Amino acid sequence: MSAKTLKLEIPFQKLISMVDQLDQDEKLILKKKLERQKVSTWQARFGNVLDKLAKKNTRFSEKDVAEDIKKAVARVRASGKN
């Protein structure tokens, strides 16, 4: 069976009343799902992205990355002077 995406427009108060009708287990599942999608500050999101990148790019040393960053910053600053 193929998956389908539905977009529902439900007034917020109606959504709250629907959530109130859930049993405790369903509310717990909903809470866990919402916590995984929790919107945080841009600093926290940036930190999470850096953590994910670090895990995926273990073949590069921290020293090499720091040197590349310094070079990139120097290039950007030099191009801004022209």
Q: For residue range 16-71, what is the model confidence (pLDDT) as tens digits? A: 999 999 999 999 999 888 888 776 788 888 888 888 888 888 888 889 888 999 99
Q: What global pTM score does this model have?
A: 0.39
What is the DSSP secondary structure assignment for residue 31, as one 8-state letter? H
Q: Are 34 and 22 in contact (CB under 8 A)?
A: no
Task: Give the alpha-carbon dihedral of 28, 33, 39, 40, to 10 degrees.
Answer: 70
Element (H, E) at 19: helix 12-20
Q: Are 10 and 2 in contact (CB under 8 A)?
A: no
All residues at 6 or more sequence positions from 10 whose CB lies less than 8 Å from its CB, including other chains: 18
